[in-house]
Structure 1
Amino acid sequence: MTRWTPDPTFYPSPRDAAGAPAEQLAYVAAFDRAAEQPDAIAVIDTDPASDTYGRVVGWTDLPNTGDELHHFGWNACSSALCPTAPHPHVERRYLIVPGLRSSRIYVLDTKDDPRNPRVVKEIPAEELAAKANYSRPHTIHCGPDGIYVSALGAGSGGSGPGGIAVLDHTTFDVRGQWEADRGDQFLAYDFWWHLTRDVLVSSEWGTPEMIEDGINPELLLGRKYGHRVHFWDLAKRTLVQSVDLGDQYQMPLELRPAHDPTKEYGFVGVVISVEDLSASVWLWHREAGEFTISKVIDIPAEPADPADLPPALKPFGAVPPLVSDIDLSVDDKYLYVSCWGTGELKQYDVSDPFQPVATGSIRLGGIVGRAAHPSFPDERLAGGPQMVEVSRDGKRVYVTNSLYGSWDDQFYPDGVGAWLAKIDVDAENGGMDLDPRFFPHGDEFRGRRVHQTRLQGGDASSDSYCFP
C-alpha cells in the first residue's frame, strides 16, 4: 500500500516553519535590460560550509529575449496543508516565473537537478489574454487551490483593469480570471491573504503604460498612481472594501500580512509622498468588522546637493527613500524595509505592530551615498537594497539591487550594476551585519541585472499557513 505524505518543506504553522533547516540554494531572477540576451534564473550556493559559498553555481537561460523577469514564486507551499486544500500532496518543485514586459510565464522544474532548473512549460501571452483577459504578470503566490498570478494590464490593449489570474496546480493551464465582482478596482500590483478569514488583500501601482518608461512626473504630481488598498471576500471573489490612503501617498506596493493565521493585520509599503518625498509603511487591521489602515512608519527624504542627483530629482534637492519592498519575518517579529533611493535596509521590531521600533540599519549603494560592501570597500555601488527575502528561521536576509529596468535607468542613469548581498540577523535582540563572504555581483551575473530571490524550501514571503 502506498503511503502519501506531504512535501517535507510544507509546515502547518509559522512556528514549525521557523524551525526548518537552513536553505542550501537561492534562486535569483536575472534579466537583460537591453533584451539582447535571454533572461535567466541564477542559482547561488548559500551553504557557508561549501567551497562555492556565495557564488553562482547554476544558470538557466530562458528561451526568449525581452521578458524582464520579475516576482516569481513556487507552484506549491505550506498553504497546501490548509483543511480546505484540494491538493495536499503537491510538491514544492516548480518555479513559476513571469515576464513583466513580455507577458509570458515560464514553469521551471527544480527537482532532478536543483542547481540547474529546466524549463518544462511556457505559457504564452496569448493564452493569458484569451483565458483570463490579463497581461503583464507580476507576482506569484501559491494558494491552497491553485497558483495565483497578479497582472498589471488587461489582455486586450494592455491598459486595464489589472487583477489576478489563476493557474492549475497540476497542468499549469490558465484557468481564468479570479475576480467575480471587482467593483471599481482598476489598478493592480500585489496581493496576499488571510486564509483562515477568507480575506484577500490587494494593492495598486499603475497600468503598463504608466510604468513602462519610468516614473512619469506628470502622473506622479497629478496623483494618478495607485493609492488604495482593497479587501476581498476570498471565497466569493468579490470586492468588499477599499481604503484610500490619500492621493498624496503614491504607490502602496508590497503587502505583508501576519503569518500567524489567528491574526488579521498586515503591512503595506508606500513608495513616495508627493508632498515631501517621504516614504512610509502602513498597518491594516480590522475594527468592528471593517478594515482600517494607519501609518506606523514614516521615512523622510534626505537632503542632497542637486549636482549629485539624477535629472529627475535635481529640482527637489533631496533623495527620496523610495520604499519598494518590505518583508516580514515568519515569526512576525521583524519587518524589513528597503529604501532603494537612499540605499538603506531598515529593520523594525513589530512585535507590537502598532508601535514599530527601529532595531537595525544597513547601507549599500544609494543614489548619492553609493555605500560599498565590506568585501569590496573601494567599489562605489549603484542601486540599493530593493527586493528583500528573509529565511524561514529569520536569521538571514538577502537583498538584490534592481527595481525595474526603466526605473533603474531613471534614478541611476550611469548604470545600476548587479549585486546580491546576504545579511546576518540577531533574531533575538535585533540588529544586522553584512556577511563579508557573500557578495555575488558584476560579471558573475553575465551582464544581467538581478531582482527577485527565492530560497530553496521556502522563505518568509512564499508561504502562508492555516494553523497557529
Structure 2
Amino acid sequence: MLSCLGDKDGNAEGNGFLLLDSDFNVKGRWEKPGHSPQFGYDFWYQPRHETMISTSWGAPAAFTKGFNLEHVKDGLYGRHLFVYSWPGGELKQTLDLGNTGLIPLEIRFLHDPLKDTGYVGCALSSNMVRFFKTADGTWNHEVVISVPTLKVKNWILPEMPGLITDFLISLDDRFLYFVNWLHGDVRQYNIEDPAKPVLSGQVWVGGLLQKGNDVVYMTEDGKELQFDVPPIKGNRLRGGPQMIQLSLDGKRLYVTNSLFSAWDRQFYGQDLVKKGSHMLQIDADTRRGGLTVNPNFFVDFGAEPDGPSLAHEMRYPGGDCTSDIWI
C-alpha cells in the first residue's frame, strides 16, 4: 500500500492510498470512494484494534517550492490525523490537532499489538502528540512533548522552531527518539509511561545554531548562544539531523541529514546540496538512558561516484522498528 501526496498538478485532491499486487501492478484505491484524506503523508496501522491512522503534510504545489509560512495560513499544509477502519478503508474519524499539531509527519503506534496508543511528530509546531483510544471506542490526542521555539538573530524569522521531521520507537517500546532538524539536536525519551515521556538523552549533531554559523539564539537574560558540535573524523557536520533508524538491539541510532532538496537548499544553503549529505552513528544507553555520538563513524555521501548525493531514509533488509507491525 502506497500513500499519495497529490495529483499531477500538485494539488492535494489527488491524495489517498494505492494498492499494488506482488508484481507491483496497481490494483486500485485502498480507501472507500469518498473517504480520501484532506492531505496525505505517513500511515501506521494496529490490526488488533482494526485501525489505521494517516498524517497530513501538505499540497505538493506548496512544499516542492520550499517552505512559505503564508502557505500555512492559506490552508496548504495539514494539521489533521485521519482514522480509518483496517483493513476496510472507511474513514471513521478526523482528529484536528489545531495549532499544536501543524504539519504532522511521521506516525507510529507502539509495537505491542495490544496497545491502543502511539505518537505523531508535528514538524512546524515542534510537538510530539500522543493519540489513544478512549472508553467509547473513539480516538483522542494530547501534546506530551513540546520543544520550545527559540528567539534568534540573523535568521529569516525572529523565532525558530525545532522542526521535528522524524522519530521512532524502539522495538521494546521503552524509548522514543526524535530529531530537531533546524535546532540540530537528537533526543531520547523514556516512554515506559506513554503519557509522560521523560528526557533521557540529547546530543547536538549539526543544525543552524551550531558554533561557526551566523545564527545565534537569545536566552531569557539576553545572552547570545550557540551549540558546540564537534567534527566527526575531521568533518564539520552539514545540515541538521533528519531521518533516523535504530538497530534491532536498540543500541545504535543512525542519522542522515537531508529532508527535501528544496528545503535543504532554502534552510542550509548550497553547502549541503553541493557537498552532499552524511550518515552518523549515535550510541544509545538502553539501561539508564543517554546518547553519545560515535566519533569513528562517518559515511560521506558527497564522495559517492555519482554524487554528491542527498541521503534520506534508512531500512534494515529483514525489517526494523520503522517498518515492522505485529498481528
Per the normalisation by structure 1, the TM-score is 0.62
| Residue 29 (structure 2) aligns with | 177
Tell whether 2:18 aligns with 1:165.
yes
Structure 2 Cα separation of the partners of residues 388 and 206 of structure 1 = 22
Q: CA deviation at 1:270?
A: 0.5
Tell whether 2:141 aligns with 1:280.
no
Using a 3 Å threshold, how does the CA distance of structure 1 residues 193 and 182 change in structure 2: closer, same or farther?
Answer: farther
Contact 1:251 1:270 in 2 (8 A): yes
Q: CA deviation at 1:161?
A: 3.3
Using a 3 Å threshold, how does the CA distance of structure 1 residues 412 and 431 change in structure 2: closer, same or farther?
Answer: same
Using a 3 Å threshold, how does the CA distance of structure 1 residues 373 and 451 change in structure 2: closer, same or farther?
Answer: farther
Match for 2:326: what amino acid?
Answer: Y
| 1:184-333 equivalent positions in 2, closer than 5 A | 185-247=37-99, 249-273=101-125, 279-288=126-135, 289-306=137-154, 309=155, 313=156, 315-316=157-158, 318-333=159-174
| 1:51-450 equivalent positions in 2, closer than 5 A | 148-154=1-7, 156-159=8-11, 160-168=13-21, 170-183=22-35, 185-247=37-99, 249-273=101-125, 279-288=126-135, 289-306=137-154, 309=155, 313=156, 315-316=157-158, 318-369=159-210, 372-376=229-233, 379-416=235-272, 417-445=276-304, 446-450=307-311
Structure 2 Cα separation of the partners of residues 380 and 302 of structure 1 = 23
Q: CA deviation at 1:184?
A: 6.5
Match for 1:354: what amino acid?
Answer: A
| Structure of greater Rg | 1
Contact 1:280 1:295 in 2 (8 A): yes
Higher relative contact order (CA 8 A, sep 6+): 1
Match for 2:52: what amino acid?
Answer: L
| Residue 459 (structure 1) aligns with | 320
Structure 2 Cα separation of the partners of residues 181 and 234 of structure 1 = 15
Structure 1 Cα separation of the partners of residues 182 and 199 of structure 2 = 19
Moved more, 332-341 or 240-249: 240-249
Structure 2 Cα separation of the partners of residues 439 and 404 of structure 1 = 21
Secondary structure of 1:465's aligned partner: coil
Secondary structure of 1:296's aligned partner: strand
Secondary structure of 2:6's aligned partner: strand
Q: CA deviation at 1:181?
A: 4.0
Match for 1:375: what amino acid?
Answer: I
Structure 2 Cα separation of the partners of residues 223 and 348 of structure 1 = 32
Secondary structure of 1:323's aligned partner: coil
| Residue 217 (structure 2) aligns with | none
Secondary structure of 1:454's aligned partner: coil
Match for 2:77: what amino acid?
Answer: Y
Structure 1 Cα separation of the partners of residues 247 and 255 of structure 2 = 12
Q: CA deviation at 1:438?
A: 1.1
Q: CA deviation at 1:373?
A: 4.7
Q: CA deviation at 1:299?
A: 0.2
Q: Which runs of 5+ in 1 are unaligned?
A: 1-147, 274-278
Match for 2:194: what amino acid?
Answer: P
Secondary structure of 2:314's aligned partner: strand
Match for 1:348: what amino acid?
Answer: Y
Secondary structure of 2:2's aligned partner: strand
Q: CA deviation at 1:428?
A: 1.5
Per the normalisation by structure 2, the TM-score is 0.88
Structure 2 Cα separation of the partners of residues 405 and 189 of structure 1 = 17
Q: Which runs of 5+ in 2 are unaligned?
A: 212-227
- Count how many residue pairs are aligned between Structure 1 and Structure 2: 304
Contact 2:101 2:129 in 1 (8 A): no
Identity percentage over the alignment? 35
Structure 2 Cα separation of the partners of residues 179 and 225 of structure 1 = 21
Using a 3 Å threshold, how does the CA distance of structure 1 residues 248 and 429 change in structure 2: closer, same or farther?
Answer: closer
Moved more, 291-300 or 423-432: 423-432
CA offsets per residue over residues 72-108 of structure 1, 9 Å max, x none? xxxxxxxxxxxxxxxxxxxxxxxxxxxxxxxxxxxxx
Q: CA deviation at 1:451?
A: 0.6
| Residue 214 (structure 2) aligns with | none
CA offsets per residue over residues 201-246 of structure 1, 9 Å max, x none? 1000112102111112211244541000011001221100011011
Q: CA deviation at 1:375?
A: 2.9
